[in-house]
A and B are shown apart, each in its own frame.
Chain A
Amino acid sequence: MSIENPVERYLRIDRMPHIWCPGCGIGTTVNCFTRAIDESGIPMDRLAVVSGIGCTGRVAGYMHVDSFHTTHGRAIPFATGLKLAAPDMKVVVYSGDGDLFAIGGNHFIHAARRNLDMTVICVNNLTYGMTGGQLTPTTPEEAIASTTPYGNYEHPFNLPYLAESCGAVYVARWTTYHVTQMKKSMKEALQKKGFSFVEILSPCPTLYGRRNRIGDSLDEMKTYKERSQIKNGADTKDVDIGMAGPIVVGKFVDRERTTYQDAMEAFYARKLGDRYARASR
């Protein structure tokens, strides 16, 4: 008897094996994502996945949907063009913390401000994976990266706080230990109209875990289990991540705001009346 893997039809099986290291958390997030799509009821032909560059940036290539592997940091503006040209698509940006918040930080804050109707999933492994474990804007203070050999003295971003303050309508954070909650948040984000953001803390045993003496992937998962505190609705100001102390996870924000597209259409309809020609495709 052959049993079909329940996530198989969402993946490009002809591209397996994937490039990720054993124990990497990215695969876990993809597994949850496929289940979230399945439960969201969004048809596969209406879903587009856009990635930037990095280990997480490869996600687009493994998803069996219209998928776009773009340039480093620019997945969000690509997705912006795609969404505005094809409003009938559900557009998901799936990328790494370095891609989305270092080189791509400016695009993130403006997309959230505009409340573009898209879902951004950030796999946060606290480092640059693909280029060899350098410092990223989310690396905790004191953590060792290849470009901070003595430890990090920069103050990192608190991503949920950043997302909320810029205008995201849905903000959640989980770790790869929290597969059920992660899947649920991804589903909610997919179903949310407007700019939704899900951060997933994910082990990079090859670079981050090893350098910071966390151990292998399993040890990193144990750390997540021990350090995580579920606090739905927590004030995002208070969810910074340090080398020690709690990692606050949960659904932090779920609110309504007019999306960019709705605002544009309503505005022009009001100002121009019959002269306004809607951009449908």
Chain B
Amino acid sequence: MHADPAGVLTGAHFIDGDHACCEGALAAECRFVAGYPITPSTEVVERIALRFPEVGGVFIQMEDELASSIAIAGAVWGGKRAMTVTSGPGFSLMMEHLGFAVMTETPCVFVNVQRGGPSTGLPTLPAQADMMQARWGSHGDYEIIAVSPNSPQECFDLTIKAFNLAEQYRTPALVMMDECVGHMMERVVIPKPEEIEIYPRRWTNAPLDEYLPFAPEQDMVPAMARAGQGYRFHMTGLTHNEKGYPDMTVAGQARLLGRLVDKIKKNALALTDVVADQVEGAEAVVISYGITSRVAQKAVMAMRAKGRRIGSLRLRTVWPFPEHVIRDLAKTVKALVVPELNLGQMVREVERCAQGTRVVSVPHAGGTVHDPAVIVQAITEALR
């Protein structure tokens, strides 16, 4: 399916990442956004508020993030594609509904333009410190899909991707931006609608009395109905059976959680989206994501200029973590270097996959990006 031309602003634009994220959502046929203002994510919803009345979308500024994050679930069951947008503290408040969306298999997109934390932290300054919260922030066991753009162009592209993956796997998908990409202005090219692939919602065509809202199809994902079609289905955040009725037994829990986790875990290979640059034969590889990947690139170039064979691996999909890629890399390099705008989060995943290969964390508490020299130094030491 291709994008509805109504929402696609085809052409080259000079806009920031937040606005590009808004345009990505529009192109992905998102037509319901609920949000609550918070820096540095607010520009996304401000542009949504401006653009939606012209494309048949509904934007509502809710009373808080708790409300926003469940209003989108309501809108999805009402038949729309929906998104909410926030930053750190708001993301914390949304965690219960992230889990609710996982449990009820509600396809929707949560955007987190990360800022420094914990608590109110650094409202206007960058960080990448919510990466583990994205993965583990809601209670209970679950798997999640998250992408991490490193430019306004990718804020556009990966927002569309997040919507597509949310629909394909019937799960919430996260766009883990950071203040830098959110606020930096660059050229963003928006393709023609017919060049934008949209994963259609998996509507059921079961007869009215035979539909089971949570019965998986071959690929473990059930087809959806929306309110008002006559299916009269039930949905609950409780552990439930295929009919959607509570089934709070040990076996019921194992069956449901097993499938919810497997539908993502077993597709980890298909979900992997990394950009590898000269990793073959590299002595060391720098692993990064988001804005940090652009700083890291500078360090990598500097090392290469000195004649060192340094590779770069950039994660565009951060969750599920591309384990197999890192495991393979670890077999061929002397060291893996992981700069990130936090005190060491995704590096733990790298360590888990490194199988004895040296892993060097290059932490940064946030507020600015790394000085490339610090990364150069870390690579140099890692190779010593």
Interface residues of A (CB under 8 A from B): 12, 15, 44-46, 48, 50, 60-61, 64-71, 73-74, 76-86, 88-89, 106-107, 110, 264, 268, 272, 275-281
Contacts of B220 in A (CB 8 A): none
Q: Does B34 make an interface contact (CB < 8 A)? A: yes
* Given contacts A74-B97, A277-B6, A281-B79, A85 and B228 within 8 Å (CB-CB): no
Interface residues of B (CB under 8 A from A): 6, 31-32, 34, 53-58, 60, 62-64, 66-68, 70-80, 82, 96-97, 100, 226-238, 245-246
Question: Which residue in A69, A73, A88, A278 is a CB contact (below 8 Å) of B228?
Answer: A88
Cα–Cα distance between A19 and B73 once the two chains are bound (Å): 26
Question: Which residue in B34, B96, B234 is a CB contact (below 8 Å) of A81?
Answer: B34
| Count: A-B pairs, CB below 8 Å | 148
Cα–Cα distance between A61 and B238 once the two chains are bound (Å): 11
Contacts of B54 in A (CB 8 A): 272, 275-277
| Interchain CB contact under 8 A, A64 and B70 | no
| Interchain CB contact under 8 A, A82 and B235 | no
Cα–Cα distance between A278 and B6 once the two chains are bound (Å): 13
| Main secondary structure on B side of the interface with A | mixed
Closest to A76 in B: B67
Closest to B234 in A: A67
Question: Which residue in A60, A66, A264 is a CB contact (below 8 Å) of B231?
Answer: A66
| Interchain CB contact under 8 A, B232 and A275 | no
| Interchain CB contact under 8 A, B100 and A71 | yes
| Interchain CB contact under 8 A, B31 and A279 | yes
Closest to B57 in A: A279
Cα–Cα distance between A86 and B76 once the two chains are bound (Å): 10
* Given contacts A44-B232, A66-B231, A110-B63, A81 and B71 within 8 Å (CB-CB): yes
| Interchain CB contact under 8 A, B227 and A12 | no
Contacts of A70 in B (CB 8 A): 70, 73, 100, 237
Question: Which residue in B77, B96, B228, B231 is a CB contact (below 8 Å) of A71?
Answer: B96
A-B contact pairs, 11 of them (CB 8 A): A61-B234, A61-B245, A74-B97, A77-B62, A78-B70, A80-B71, A81-B75, A83-B78, A85-B74, A89-B227, A279-B56
Contacts of A268 in B (CB 8 A): 53
